[in-house]
Amino acid sequence: METQIHHQMVRTFSYFSGFIACWYDCKLEELARDLAKGEKDSIPGIETFYSEGERNTLNLRTIVSEEWKGHLQGIANRQNFGCSLLFGKTRDRYKVVCVFV
């Protein structure tokens, strides 16, 4: 499942290639996972975007396009990004965290 989510994240942000031209970084994915779990606080100098709610999260393109599209233009100078998708106990709750450096 993690591999599927990773590839979907990459495809999702490739979809926004007009705004983003950066590489997926697995270390940033770990940071995003720690942020999603609440194990770390936001870090200065790193752009962090959160989404959470109750809907089908496997359509990440919809989540990003609806909730983040306006913010993505401000990260055009970033080189790398990583994302993490965290499901709730019933899998109908989710939290997505992406970090950009």
Strands (DSSP E) found in 38-78 = 47-54
Residue-by-residue pLDDT tens, the chain, 101 positions: 444 555 555 555 554 444 445 666 788 888 888 888 888 887 787 888 777 766 655 555 555 555 666 666 666 667 777 888 777 776 677 777 888 88
pLDDT for residue 20: 45
pLDDT for residue 29: 82
The pTM assigned to this predicted structure is 0.61
Distances (CA, A) of 71 to 16, 37, 65, 66: 12, 23, 10, 11
Q: Sketch out the chain's domains with CATH numbers.
A: 2-100 (3.40.33.10)
pLDDT for residue 1: 45
Does residue 6 contact residue 24 with C-beta atoms inside 8 Å? yes
